[in-house]
């Protein structure tokens, strides 16, 4: 049975610590595509290569949020991504390295954060 999911239910954790304030998250699962076309082929031939993953997060900066504080560039962390909320089906877990953590302030607006992480392990289902 297919079930659509509302984005407002999404929760993301570093280990067992929830990252609060997130209002946008994108999880990418990728594979290198290798061209194996040879003389005599009349169409391109390709095979899948090394797989990869990354996630980008952004939202409201919360000065004392333990989850945001765990986004330390260079650190390897375990990301738990729950599109339907923690404890619901569809959760994924990935070991990732934190690439960056940015804070942005606007004189007429709120302080926000963004962070990018790259996978260091396969994406696995949380059962």
pLDDT band at 56 (very low <50, low <70, confident <90, very high): very high
pLDDT band at 95 (very low <50, low <70, confident <90, very high): very high
> CA torsion sign, 98 to 126 to 50 to 26?
negative
Give domain status of residue 1, yes or no. no
Distance CA 31, CA 81 (A): 20
Q: What are phi and psi of 9, to 5 degrees?
A: -85, -15
Q: Which domain holds residue 85?
A: 7-125
Contact 78, 55 (CB under 8 A): no
Give domain status of residue 81, yes or no. yes
How many residues are present in the chain?
Answer: 127
pTM for this predicted structure: 0.89
**Domain containing 61 — which CATH number?**
2.40.30
Note the Cα 3 to chain centre separation in Å. Answer: 21
Contact 92, 98 (CB under 8 A): no
Give domain status of residue 62, yes or no. yes
Give domain status of residue 2, yes or no. no
pLDDT band at 2 (very low <50, low <70, confident <90, very high): confident
pLDDT band at 59 (very low <50, low <70, confident <90, very high): very high
Give domain status of residue 94, yes or no. yes
Lookup: tokens for 80: 């738990």
Give domain status of residue 97, yes or no. yes
Q: Which tens digits make up the pLDDT trace of 5-32?
A: 888 999 999 999 999 999 999 999 999 9
Structural domains in the chain (count): 1
Give domain status of residue 87, yes or no. yes
């Amino acid at each position: 049975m297919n079930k659509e999911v509302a984005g407002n239910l999404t929760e993301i954790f570093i280990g067992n610590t929830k990252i609060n304030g997130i209002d946008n998250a994108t999880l990418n699962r990728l594979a290198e595509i290798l061209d194996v076309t040879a003389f005599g082929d009349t169409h391109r031939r390709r095979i899948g290569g090394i797989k990869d993953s990354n996630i980008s997060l952004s939202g409201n900066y919360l000065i004392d949020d333990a989850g945001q504080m765990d986004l330390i560039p260079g650190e390897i962390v375990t990301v738990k991504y729950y599109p339907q909320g923690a404890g619901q089906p569809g959760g994924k877990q990935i070991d990732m390295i934190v690439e960056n953590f940015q804070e942005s302030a606007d004189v007429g607006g709120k302080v926000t954060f963004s962070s990018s992480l790259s996978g260091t392990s396969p994406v696995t289902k949380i059962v």
